[in-house]
Amino acid sequence: MRDVQGERDTRNIPIDRVGVSGVSYPLAVMDPSENVQHVTGTVRMSVSLPKDFRGTHMSRFIEVLEKCRGKMTLGNLEEIVDALKEQLAAPEAEVAIAFPYFVRRAAPVSGAESYTRIDVEFWAMKASRFDFVLKVAVPVQTLCPCSKEISEFGAHNQRARVEIETRMRRLVWIEDLVSVAEQSASAPVLTLLKREDEKALTEMAFLNPRFVEDVVREVSLRLDRDERIKWYRVSVVSDESIHNHQAFASLERFVSFPAR
């Protein structure tokens, strides 16, 4: 059969990225202690396409995914992009793997345990040098300092989402970034809370009012002190309870040591 994709292209236009996206696939994610979590991944894989080729061979992306689905770690992401480069004869390859990840949490007073869902993304790219970004999105609570200050009682509060992306010097794991996010907000968000826990979180939030601007800065202060991190982007999006829209703040920073 004719290899239409492999034909010579004369339009003289290199393509930055060509590949597959929205691939829903079962994956086994291993943390640094070799614990496995079986997750449902949404995968995007792509390569750059030199100007002389008409197309790439899309099925080879899936073949590479098939081979590595049983074990997906921060350690073998470079192998995956290397495999893509080789299988597709490409100068550059990229992979992005998004998945819901569950961390076990205990309620603050009762100790009742439940899972919190964290949205995680591994992103890796390689031309000559390997580049990797770990992203986590963590649900938290924000309580408005202005509302608390100006009102005689109460203060509006709401669910917000802290997103942290990092490039690292040494491995930082998902749970580390979840802690940073939760400590920087007015209060954490948990799936199972008994009445005594609800009381504790309500009071904690009232004692820790935070604008989205505050949360983003608190995250920044914590990440600046972490020698394992060399770059980060943090954004906080708050589903305002007095509005039908979101408030957000974001910042991006390279960290040099000693830090500011």
Joined together, the tokens standing for residue 121 give 């993304």
Q: Which of residues 80-109 bind a copy of itself (CB under 8 A)?
A: 100, 102
Q: Which is nearer to a copy of itself, 73 or 202 (CB)?
A: 202
Neighbours of 24 (CB within 10 A): 8
| Binding residue (CB under 8 A) for a copy of itself from 50, 106, 227, 250 | 250
Q: Is 206 in the site for a copy of itself (CB under 8 A)?
A: yes
Pick the stretch among 51-59, 90-98, 120-128, 174-182 that binds a copy of itself (CB under 8 A).
Answer: 51-59
Pick the stretch among 3-11, 71-79, 88-96, 173-181 that binds a copy of itself (CB under 8 A).
Answer: 3-11
Question: How many residues interact with a copy of itself (rule CB under 8 A)?
Answer: 102
Q: Which is nearer to a copy of itself, 42 or 78 (CB)?
A: 42
Q: Is 214 in the site for a copy of itself (CB under 8 A)?
A: yes
Q: Amino acid identity of 172?
A: V
Distance (Å, whole) CA 189 – CA 159: 8
CA neighbours within 13 Å on the CB side: how many for 99?
26
Pick the stretch among 54-62, 81-89, 128-136, 166-174 that binds a copy of itself (CB under 8 A).
Answer: 54-62
* Per-position x/- string for 9-28, each x denoting binding to a copy of itself as judged by CB under 8 A, each - no binding: x-xxxxxxxxxxxxxxxx--
DSSP string, 74-107: TTTHHHHHHHHHHHTT-S-EEEEEEEEEEEEEE-
Q: Is 39 in the site for a copy of itself (CB under 8 A)?
A: yes
Contact present, 234 and 219 (Cβ < 8 Å)? yes
CB of 199 to a copy of itself, least distance (A): 5
- Helices 58-68 and 77-87 pack at an angle, to 10 degrees, of 150
Q: Which of residues 61-80 bind a copy of itself (CB under 8 A)?
A: 62-63, 66, 69
* Longest distance between any two alpha carbons in the chain, whole Å: 78
Distance spanning both ends of the chain, measured CA to CA: 62
